[in-house]
Amino acid sequence: MKPLSERMTLYMDAGFPILYIATFEEDKADRAIEEAAGNREVVEWNVRGLLFKQSKEKVDGVTLPEALGNFANPNQTGSEKFAARYDLRRRVLVLKDAQQFLEAPDVVAQLKYLSERIVSGQLTDANIVIIAPRTCIPKELEHYITILTVDYLSAEEIRKIIVRFCEEQGLDALHEDFLRELALAFKGLPEFEIINILSLALADNGEIGRADLALSHEQKKQLVQKSGIMEMVPLKERIEDIGGLENLKAWLKQKAKVLKNIDKAEAFGVDLPKGVLIAGLPGCGKSLNAKAAAALFEVPLLRLDMGRLMGKYVGESEANLRQAIALAEAISPCVLWIDELEKAFAGISSGGGGHEVTTRLFGTFLTWMQEKEGLAFVVATANNIEHLPPELLRKGRFDEIFYVGLPNPQEREKIFSIHIGKRRKKDLAGIDLSALVKETNGYSGSDIEGVVKDAIEAAFTQDKPKLTTELLLSAIRSTASLSEIMKESIEKMAKVYQERHFKNASIS
């Protein structure tokens, strides 16, 4: 992506009247605006009033409706000074703290009026830029507003910040490998936070060491949390915790090798991995795989909540998705886990078209997947792909599409031994796993985990010294399997997977 100032220049030159920068980093947006404005004057409105940046003139206490009204009608007083002050030609009007006023009818009306005058060429070389932490655009202004996302620092820029910090503090130069690791760990954070973390680390024990990586992790977690639409998921599950699904695991291991040696792989001609769609029955290990993939790749896991993406304002959902993508790319390498994909995109192309917002959201997502260059590896999971638009399933979007079905007997045995081993390792040798396998045809991994948990609790409450096969069999008898509960939809889904030639996650 081009730097923010360059993108702004492009839009400004093309006469786009209002640019909307969704960020809480006002400093960064200010710098980009200064660059994009060139020799035009920047005029800022914030809750304190107006500030004319070139002349340094201040007009305190002007409200937003007043200020906009004056720019809309600079000749209202007949005074030349007033008319010159509020002439928007060859100026960039920046609005900060404006979010809460954007719904007011007079503000909307004035912005619309000014936009029309910019578009028609009456206000030459004028632009309005809104800087706000979140995107909320009134419907009436939708056509005039273009949403932009801020730049994040590249690993190279972060590296320079760290080196400069060490020099300024008179510290020894950091080892090259550690410097690279640190720069990667800081990815996604703004400069002031990086400096804060480094200062904190230094104040703590007088040096910057590996232990300080945890600080950046914590900060990043907060950053992701603040976005409101993503969360950083702790990585407890490993690939070894997955019973079966050998095809999928082998595929992920292959991708891990590429991602961990990306420079060499690219030089060799290997394509950058984009991501995988894992579809299939509930409780059969889809989420488990998303988590294990991040652990395997040794990168953070960001979970995108499709439900929270849908905003109430026009363009908000799309802007949220763009913001999430930009943040994931900034933090990358990472795994971007899109859970319950079907909830967001189901039904888009099934006759009559889906909701307009969803369709646009889908377009944004598809384009990103198609053109993706960064190292944000997508793991999308879906329970039901029946209603997913076919474009999504076409080659070129995901590297591969897997389906996970009910575990076969060998897989059930492994899942039993994983879950018993996790909780009662010493009892595992005495358990007749094949007896359990025989009785659990049609059980999902999650059902099996439930059986193990119930049996262990029963052993404890019945004062038994250990977990036994009999206790497990009894827990099986009182658990309804997934295939009993979802018989019909399982059969239907299996057919769809076969028809669409999805790869089986298990070795059949």
CB of 470 to ligand ATP, least distance (A): 23
Q: Which is nearer to ligand ATP, 115 or 384 (CB)?
A: 384
CB of 285 to ligand ATP, least distance (A): 3
Q: Which is nearer to ligand ATP, 66 or 246 (CB)?
A: 246
Of 120-128, 280-288, 351-359, 371-379, which segment contacts ligand ATP by CB under 6 A?
A: 280-288
Q: Which is nearer to ligand ATP, 16 or 403 (CB)?
A: 403
Q: Counting contacts by CB under 6 A, is residue 405 touching ligand ATP?
A: no
When binding is defined by CB under 6 A, the residue of 244, 300, 354, 374 that contacts ligand ATP is: 244
Q: Which is nearer to ligand ATP, 243 or 354 (CB)?
A: 243
| Shortest-Cβ-distance residue relative to ligand ATP | 445
Of 155-163, 282-290, 325-333, 495-503, which segment contacts ligand ATP by CB under 6 A?
A: 282-290
Q: Where are the alpha helices (DSSP H) in 169-210?
A: 176-185, 191-205
Q: Which is nearer to ligand ATP, 174 or 245 (CB)?
A: 245
Q: Does residue 301 contact residue 337 with C-beta atoms inside 8 Å?
A: yes
Q: Tell me the longest C-alpha to C-alpha distance in the chain.
A: 96
Q: Counting contacts by CB under 6 A, is residue 376 touching ligand ATP?
A: no
Q: Counting contacts by CB under 6 A, is residue 286 touching ligand ATP?
A: yes
> Can you tell me the distance from the alpha carbon of 258 to that of 267, in angstroms, rounded to the nearest whole number?
11
CB of 238 to ligand ATP, least distance (A): 11
> Can you tell me the distance from the alpha carbon of 241 to that of 204, in angstroms, rounded to the nearest whole number?
37
Q: Which is nearer to ligand ATP, 197 or 456 (CB)?
A: 456
Q: Which is nearer to ligand ATP, 283 or 315 (CB)?
A: 283
CB of 296 to ligand ATP, least distance (A): 15
Query: Which SS3 state, helix, strand or coil, does residue 156 take?
Result: helix
Please list, in sequence order, all residues whose beta carbon lies within 8 angstroms of the beta carbon of residue 139, skipping any fewer than 6 positions away: 313, 314
Q: Which is nearer to ligand ATP, 211 or 250 (CB)?
A: 250
Q: Does residue 476 contact residue 459 with C-beta atoms inside 8 Å?
A: no
Q: Does residue 18 contact residue 145 with C-beta atoms inside 8 Å?
A: yes
Q: Which is nearer to ligand ATP, 194 or 418 (CB)?
A: 418
CB of 408 to ligand ATP, least distance (A): 11
Q: Counting contacts by CB under 6 A, is residue 383 touching ligand ATP?
A: yes
> Can you tell me the distance from the alpha carbon of 134 to that of 22, in angstroms, rounded to the nearest whole number?
5
When binding is defined by CB under 6 A, the residue of 128, 415, 456, 486 that contacts ligand ATP is: 415
When binding is defined by CB under 6 A, the residue of 418, 420, 472, 482 that contacts ligand ATP is: 418
- The single-letter code of the amino acid at 150 is V
CB of 197 to ligand ATP, least distance (A): 33
Q: Counting contacts by CB under 6 A, is residue 242 touching ligand ATP?
A: yes
**Phi then psi for 149, rounded to 5 degrees?**
-105, 150
Q: Counting contacts by CB under 6 A, is residue 245 touching ligand ATP?
A: yes
CB of 280 to ligand ATP, least distance (A): 7
CB of 507 to ligand ATP, least distance (A): 13
Interface positions, 106-125, toward ligand ATP (CB under 6 A): none
When binding is defined by CB under 6 A, the residue of 23, 135, 287, 481 that contacts ligand ATP is: 287
Which two structure tokens, joined as six digits, stand for 131?
A: 């800087």
> Can you tell me the distance from the alpha carbon of 333 to that of 185, in angstroms, rounded to the nearest whole number?
10
When binding is defined by CB under 6 A, the residue of 273, 283, 300, 389 that contacts ligand ATP is: 283
Interface positions, 423-482, toward ligand ATP (CB under 6 A): 445-446, 449
Cα 159 versus chain centre, distance: 24
Q: Does residue 203 contact residue 272 with C-beta atoms inside 8 Å?
A: no
When binding is defined by CB under 6 A, the residue of 223, 229, 284, 361 that contacts ligand ATP is: 284
Q: Counting contacts by CB under 6 A, is residue 239 touching ligand ATP?
A: no
Interface positions, 163-222, toward ligand ATP (CB under 6 A): none
Question: What DSSP designation does 378 have?
Answer: E
CB of 234 to ligand ATP, least distance (A): 13
CB of 281 to ligand ATP, least distance (A): 7
Which two structure tokens, joined as six digits, stand for 277?
A: 């769609």
For residue 53, which of 69, 64, 41, 40 has the smallest C-alpha distance? 41
> Can you tell me the distance from the alpha carbon of 19 to that of 12, in angstroms, rounded to the nearest whole number?
8
Helix (H) / strand (E) element for 59: namely: strand 58-60
Q: Does residue 308 contact residue 324 with C-beta atoms inside 8 Å?
A: no
Q: Does residue 381 contact residue 344 with C-beta atoms inside 8 Å?
A: no
The size of the interface with ligand ATP (CB under 6 A), counted in residues, is 18
Q: What is the 3-state secondary structure (H, E, C) of 250-305?
A: HHHHHHHHHHHCHHHHHHHCCCCCCEEEEEECCCCCHHHHHHHHHHHHCCCEEEEC
> Can you tell me the distance from the alpha carbon of 18 to that of 128, in angstroms, rounded to the nearest whole number?
5
CB of 235 to ligand ATP, least distance (A): 13
In the block, tokens 């390792």 appear at: 425
Q: Where are the alpha helices (DSSP H) in 298-444?
A: 306-309, 316-331, 341-345, 356-371, 390-393, 409-424, 433-438
Footprint of ligand ATP on this chain (CB under 6 A)? 242-245, 282-288, 381, 383, 415, 418, 445-446, 449
